[in-house]
Structure formats: C-alpha cells, structure tokens
C-alpha cells in the first residue's frame, strides 16, 4: 500500500506525462523540415527542367547549323548515309561545341545515323543527350538524368543535266561569236563555280555547236550513220538529221541511223540542192567545234574536250540547219543514246526524279537548211544532200522535235540573239520554249550575257529548291 506521500508523487508524474503527450508545440519542426525539403525539390525541379530545355535548344541550334552545312555539301556532291555521318562527326565541335556552351551541362551529344529517303530527297538526323538532375531525384521523386533529343531534316538538291545548243553559223561572225563565247562561259561558271568544280557531283553540262550539221567526231559519226559518213565522199565527223518514222523521236541510232553531212564538193565545201540542180558552197560543212557530251568537269580554255575549252574556240561558218542542233541536243540528254557516249556522260533515265534536264537553244536567225535523199541531179546520184529552205521545212522540223522533247520531260529555254523582225526565227524560238517565260531575246552582247546568266541562276535556284 502506497503512502500518502508516494501517491501524490505518482499523481504528479502521471499529470506531467499526460501533459507531455498532449503538448504539440514541438511537432512543427519535422513538418517544417519536410516542407523545406519539398520546396527545394520543387524549386530545383524547375531548374533541372530549365537546364534540360536549354540543352535541347542548344542541340537544336547545332543540328540546324550542321544540316545547313550538309545541304550545302549536297548541292555540289552526292553523299551516302555513312558519308553524312562522317561529315557530322568530323565537324562535331564546329556545330555542337559553340552552340552548347553555357547550356549548363557537359554531357556528350550523340548523333544518330542519318536516314535518307532517296525518292523524297530528304535526310533526317537525330541528336540526343542526357542532362543530370541536381534536385528532382533528391526525394526519390524523379530520375537522376533527363533525356533530351532533337530531330532535323534537310531536302537535298536534285542533279542537273544541261545542254547548250549554240548557233555558230556564218551570220554569227565578228563580235557576235565573241559575245556568245563570253555568255556561254558565264553560263558554265554560274552553274559550276570554279571554286566547287573539283568536287562537283551535281551538275553535268554538254555543248552542241551547230551550223549546217553537227560535228561529233569520226568514230561516233560512223556509229550514228551506220558507216554512211565513210562510204562516200563526205565529212566523216559530220552528222545531220534523220527522216522516216523516227525523224522526230529520240529512238536510238541502233534503231534508226542518222544522216551524215552533205556530200563533199571540194576542200571546205559541200553540195546542196536548190530545187533544180546541185551547187557547191562553203556554207554546207560542219562546225570545227566538236560536241562535248555531258560532263561534271567544266574544264578550262586550255583543257581539251571540256565545255569551257570548246566554248573558247567557237568560230562562225556555215548555214543554219537548226533542227540538227535541236535533235543532237536531245540525243545528249536522252537515255536511249547512252551507248553513244562515254560511261560518265550517259544521261539519266527520264524516270529518275532526282535529275532535272534542260536544253538551252540559241540562234541569231532563221533556220534555213534541211536534208533529203536519195536524189539524182545532173546525172549524179546523191544519197543524202543539203537543201536550202524553199518554205519552212527546217523551222517546222525543229518545232516538231521541240514538242516531243518537252513531252519527254526536258525543259527547253530559248534565246534569240539580235533576231529583230525575223518572223521565222521568232516563231521557232517562242514555240520551242517550254513556256513564254522561257523565251528570251537579247539585242546586244551585254543582254546576251545577262540572259545566259539569268538562265543559269534560274536552273540553279530550281535544282536547289526542288
């Protein structure tokens, strides 16, 4: 039995224990600690996400810069997926180093292998990185790293095949042939600037000088005419046009041969038929300048067999069989004539949507010469002979060829140089052009040069944007 004194002490202790149990004054400390931690985590989470957003924007800037550089490279050469990857890796610091400084992370940026859609001509590239979190994972609420990624794409340019079909007839003598040389040189240098010529893989240019025929070299002329150029007295390097069912098509020479040059009358002259008898004239020979088939190499005025070399040596002589120039311009762009040209000059298929085909046709006058045969004149048989136009044979043949060329998908751009009031010349130039906007006139050397440069820039802007 407890004493009275002991009982009082017990009651006092129990009251104190009860008061201690009921006292809430110290509970705010742990709650406060929890709230502080939560506030730090929430506020820090914003910082973590801000750093991730900043990193993503930095990667996006770097990837955009990289893709613009890739697009520039693709404007002059073709690149495989592996080559694009190597290019991006080689220039990693240039595109991602500067653009990610200050992003708040030193995490490496990983560039995924590019995806290339050759039909749509689209390149897709992804870049990704990880941003370590300083706050979001403190309370076990989030990951220790945030993944950020960016996608970018570029449309790479199409390739170009462009043929210059140039009038080098006698009427182009003097200052006019000099103006043509300068304008054609500007055209080539605009499409393939000298600084990118060594790495050019996008633009191929052909040159077809024409007068009363076209010079393609003896070996090719033998193929195209099936030997007709060498089985009679003729200029063995000269070819003209064809008649019959394939006269206005690009069927291969294997299917239908092409006529040779007119019969040779003597040194530097040929026979022509004026409707009643045969005459000889120096106006019925082929140009000295030989056709240059499609090539990536613009060359120079000292590099034989290249566009710039041939252009620098253009000279004026002969009559104007414009339809022969039109036909041979087509043959340089037609896949049906691939076996005529070197392997590097073979035209792309018409169905290849990655390639744009152009013909620039230029003249300074009426088309006035065409070919026919066989015929017997003055007790002499001519299997193939030039004829002066008594009507519109040359013009009409050229227009029909142009119509079929345009149907094949080739764009024709024409330039009439000082053609004044020559109705026939204006007719063929306007009707051969793919549209009214593709028909140009030039009245002097400065305008001719400006027209050729404008056309080159038009082609350039089109293939870079399509």
Segments making up each domain of the chain, as ranges: 27-155, 159-464
How crowded is the C-beta side of 251, counted as CA atoms within 13 Å? 14
For residue 133, how many other CB atoms are within 10 A of its CB? Answer: 20
Show the tokens assigned to 188.
């080539």
Are 217 and 174 spatial neighbours (Cβ–Cβ below 8 Å)? no
- C-alpha 424/C-alpha 286 separation (Å) is 23
Q: What are the residue ranges of helices labelled H in 291-321?
A: 307-312
- C-alpha 382/C-alpha 352 separation (Å) is 43
pLDDT tens for each residue of the chain, 466 residues long: 545 555 565 566 566 656 655 655 556 666 655 566 666 666 666 776 777 787 778 778 877 777 777 777 776 677 777 887 788 777 767 776 654 554 455 577 787 887 877 666 677 888 887 877 777 766 566 677 767 777 877 776 778 999 999 999 999 999 999 999 999 999 999 999 998 899 888 899 999 999 999 999 999 999 999 999 887 777 899 999 999 999 999 999 999 999 999 888 888 899 998 878 889 998 998 999 999 999 999 999 999 999 999 999 999 999 999 999 999 999 999 999 999 999 999 999 999 888 999 999 999 999 999 998 888 888 888 889 999 876 699 999 999 999 999 999 999 999 999 999 999 999 999 999 999 999 999 999 999 999 999 999 999 877 655 5
- C-alpha 220/C-alpha 342 separation (Å) is 11
Are 383 and 231 spatial neighbours (Cβ–Cβ below 8 Å)? no
| Total-model pTM | 0.74
Show the tokens assigned to 136.
């979001």
Show the tokens assigned to 318.
């002969």
Are 419 and 365 spatial neighbours (Cβ–Cβ below 8 Å)? yes
Under CATH, which architecture does the 159-464 domain have? 3-Layer(aba) Sandwich (3.40)
Beta bridge partners of 208: 165
- C-alpha 264/C-alpha 230 separation (Å) is 11
377 conformational bin, left if phi > 0, alpha if psi -120 to 50, beta if neither: beta
Show the tokens assigned to 141.
């609420």
Show the tokens assigned to 160.
């170009």
Beta bridge partners of 270: 264, 281
């Amino acid at each position: 039995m407890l004493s009275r004194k002991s009982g009082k002490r017990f009651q006092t202790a129990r009251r104190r224990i009860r008061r201690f149990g009921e006292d809430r004054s110290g509970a705010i400390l742990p709650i406060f600690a929890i709230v502080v931690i939560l506030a730090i985590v929430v506020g820090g989470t914003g910082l973590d996400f801000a750093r991730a957003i900043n990193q993503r924007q930095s990667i996006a800037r770097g990837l955009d810069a990289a893709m613009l550089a890739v697009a520039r490279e693709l404007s002059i050469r073709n690149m495989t997926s592996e080559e694009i990857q190597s290019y991006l890796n080689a220039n990693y610091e240039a595109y991602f180093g500067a653009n990610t400084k200050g992003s708040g992370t030193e995490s490496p940026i990983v560039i995924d292998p590019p995806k290339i859609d050759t039909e749509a001509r689209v390149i897709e590239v992804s870049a990704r990185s990880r941003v370590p979190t300083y706050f979001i994972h403190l309370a076990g609420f989030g990951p220790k790293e945030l993944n950020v990624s960016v996608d970018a794409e570029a449309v790479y340019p199409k390739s170009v095949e462009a043929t210059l079909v140039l009038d080098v007839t006698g009427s182009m003598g003097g200052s006019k042939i000099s103006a043509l040389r300068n304008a054609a040189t500007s055209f080539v240098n605009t499409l393939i600037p000298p600084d990118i010529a060594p790495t050019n893989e996008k633009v191929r240019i052909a040159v077809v000088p024409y007068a009363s025929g076209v010079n393609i070299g003896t070996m090719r002329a033998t193929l195209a005419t099936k030997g007709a150029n060498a089985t009679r007295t003729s200029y063995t390097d000269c070819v003209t046009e064809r008649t019959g069912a394939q006269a206005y098509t690009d069927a291969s020479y294997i299917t239908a041969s092409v006529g040779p040059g007119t019969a040779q009358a003597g040194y530097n002259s040929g026979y022509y038929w004026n409707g009643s008898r045969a005459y000889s004239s120096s106006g019925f020979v082929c140009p000295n300048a030989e056709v240059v088939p499609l090539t990536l190499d613009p060359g120079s005025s000292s590099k034989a067999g290249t566009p710039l070399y041939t252009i620098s040596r253009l000279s004026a002589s002969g009559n104007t069989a414009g339809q022969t120039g039109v036909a041979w311009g087509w043959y340089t762009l037609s896949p049906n004539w691939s076996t005529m040209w070197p392997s590097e000059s073979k035209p792309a298929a018409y169905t290849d949507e990655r390639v744009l085909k152009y013909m620039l046709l230029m003249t300074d006058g009426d088309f006035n010469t065409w070919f026919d045969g066989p015929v017997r004149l003055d007790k002499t048989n001519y299997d193939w002979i030039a004829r002066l136009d008594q009507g519109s044979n040359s013009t009409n043949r050229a227009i029909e060829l142009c119509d079929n060329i345009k149907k094949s998908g080739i764009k024709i751009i024409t330039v009439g140089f000082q053609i004044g009031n020559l109705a026939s010349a204006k007719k063929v130039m306007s009707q051969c052009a793919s549209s009214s906007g593709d028909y140009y006139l030039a009245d002097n050397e400065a305008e001719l040069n400006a027209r050729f440069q404008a056309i080159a820039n038009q082609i350039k802007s089109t293939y870079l944007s399509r």
